[in-house]
Amino acid sequence: MRRRIIGLETEYGLTFYPTGTAYLPMEKVIGYLFEEVIPTGWPSNAFLVNGARFYQDTGCHPEYATPECASFKSVVTHDKAGERMLESRLQPARKKLEEEGFTGRLFAFRNNTDSMGNTYGCHENYLVERSLDFWRMAECLTPHLVTRQIYCGAGKVFTVAGQTRYAISQRANHIHEASSSSTTSSRSIINTRDEPHSDAERFRRLHIIVGDTNMSEYTTYLKVGISSLLLTIMEEDGKLPSVVLEDPVDALRQVSLDLDLNMPLALAGGGKMSALAIQWAYLEAAEVHFSSLGPGVFRSLLNQWKAVLTSLDSDPTELADRVDWIAKRQVVRQFMDKHSCGLDDPRVAMLDLQYHDIDRSRGIYYLLERQKRMQRISNDNAVAHAMDNPPPDTRANIRGRFIRFAKETNRPYSVDWTYLKLSGYFEETILCTDPFASHDPRVDELVATAKGDLYHI
């Protein structure tokens, strides 16, 4: 089975509730988060020793971009490592704020919307063969991306026109186009920006910005795994369902509000199919294409996909231990039953938000996890290791070890996804355009020269 480079970019919501009289702009608050992560004098783009990038994004959001990963489990693990990285910065930031006279409570949320109606994203990146026609790929994938929210949605309690409802997706109402080059002004299902961060003649980076960010590791695994599986079918000239939605953006919003999962979606040229039926069609096409596939990751993924769709078809509550929107809805229902209140009770909205609190001592998702009510893909030891170590089988290994050497020896450096440079040594920039290459002899030579001995990175 062909290998693929996959990465996730996650923007986090950040909130500071002051208990004193001093007001502190969010620009200042986020600065305390990045202290020590980005020490004075070091590059502001904050590439880390694990090969990832941790930085401040537009709108004062902390954002973590995973290193290049070559397996679905690796993506899940390094995605959680980014969350732990941010969590580890909360207490030092709170302490620093208090020392400077700013008392209050600092929260970070792994979700997609705030109370002011703003949205922030979780972007998926898949490296695909340049030979694959981009517009054919987008057309084939769009119905899948519209309907996969039935197992990838994060869930949301929201009020519109005085009516409070529960939606499957947080992101759906903020998507306005099927495809666009923008990620802010005209958010789309598929972003058309062509930045492969690799050999541009061989690869293109597929940038998907429609998805919710997930607390559940299992959901993240399904999200990146199934999308990658479908890309493989296209790269191998396989067949996917000939389904074309009449209005993908409208369908996206319809699916988000269809908690019964049976709303018929209009197809181009006539006919209708539900989101669940469309997902079954994709699964059936994948099973045909991979019919001769033996045991392994893809076979396991196909089986899990089928099990999830089967439960959605019969009893979605069976997935409360795997799928975010279902797990959260169960928590909300239990709260409403216990307190005899409705969905419009302000405590329910707070419960919704607390599900996404990344502080493991108080976040509701992590309460469920401690109670063994959520399935995991990774484990705490693997996540802790990923906070300090890059994936060993991708270009991130070169970058991470290079950064570790530069920091340990206090040498200024410059790093991006595709290049490395140690200031004062070798004026030329070392380009690393092969994302699958985990070692580079030029970097070994550079470090050995800089250190003055036979040190090898």
Mean pLDDT, residues 222-241 taken together: 97
| Joined tokens for residue 348 | 């329910």
- Distance (Å, whole) CA 368 – CA 334: 13
The single residue of 57, 247, 416, 434 carrying the catalytic annotation is 57
The residue-averaged pLDDT of 403-411 equals: 88
Report the alpha-carbon distance of residue 231 to residue 119 in Å, rounded. Answer: 27
Q: Are 357 and 347 in contact (CB under 8 A)?
A: no
pLDDT attached to residue 18: 83
- Reported as a pLDDT band with limits 50, 70 and 90, residue 35 is confident
Using a pLDDT cut of 70, give the percent of the chain over it. 93
DSSP-based three-state secondary structure for 10: strand
pLDDT reading at 453 higher than 50: no
pLDDT of residue 392: 97
Residue 66 has pLDDT above 50, yes or no: yes
Q: Kindly indicate the confidence band of residue 16, based on its pLDDT and cuts at 50, 70 and 90.
A: confident
Token pair, residue 112, equals 């997609």
The sign of the dihedral angle between the CA atoms of 246, 251, 254, 259 is positive
Inform me whether the pLDDT recorded for 456 exceeds 50.
no
Mention every residue, 6+ apart, whose C-beta is less than 8 A from residue 189.
Answer: 142, 145, 146, 175, 177, 178, 179, 208, 209, 210, 248, 249, 252
Position 42 pLDDT exceeds 90: no
Residue 46's pLDDT is what? Answer: 84
Mean pLDDT, the chain, integer: 91
- Only one residue has tokens 């007001």, namely 23
Burial code (b: 16+ CB inside 10 Å, e: under 16) for 382-394 equals bbeebbebbbebb
Look at residue 22 and tell me whether its pLDDT is greater than 70.
no
Residues above pLDDT 90, as percent of the chain? 72
Alpha helices, DSSP H, located in 236-322: 248-257, 275-289, 297-314
The DSSP secondary structure of 141-208, one letter per residue, reads HHHHHHHTHHHH---EEEEETTEEEEES-SSGGG--EEEES-SSTT-EEEE-----SS-TTTEEEEEE
The model carries a pTM of 0.94
Q: Is the Cβ–Cβ distance between 285 and 234 less than 8 Å?
A: no
Look at residue 281 in the predicted model and tell me its pLDDT: 98
For residue 183, the model assigns a pLDDT of 54
Q: Give the mean pLDDT of 196-225.
A: 96
Instruction: Judge whether residue 19 has pLDDT over 60.
Output: yes
pLDDT at 1 over 70: no
pLDDT of residue 52: 97
Higher pLDDT, 429 or 25: 429
What does the pLDDT read at residue 282?
Answer: 98
* Residue 415: per-residue pLDDT: 92
455 pLDDT tier (thresholds 50, 70, 90)? very low
pLDDT band at 73 (very low <50, low <70, confident <90, very high): very high
CA separation for the pair 393, 238 (Å, rounded): 28
First and final C-alpha spacing in the chain: 30
Split at pLDDT 50, 70, 90, the class of 249 is very high
Distance CA 93, CA 345 (A): 32
Q: Please identify which residue in the block is written with the tokens 């550079």.
A: 446
- What pLDDT shows up at residue 425? 63
Q: What is the pLDDT of residue 298?
A: 93
57 an active-site residue?
yes
Q: pLDDT by residue (tens digit) across 174-193?
A: 998 888 665 555 688 998 88
Render pLDDT for 255-309 as a digit per residue (tens, 0 to 9).
Answer: 999 999 999 999 998 999 999 999 999 999 999 999 998 889 999 999 999 999 9
Q: What is the pLDDT of residue 88?
A: 93
Query: What distance lies between CA 17 and its chain's CA centroid?
Result: 26
In the prediction, which pLDDT does 412 show? 83
| Residue 160 contacts residue 89 (beta carbons within 8 Å) | no
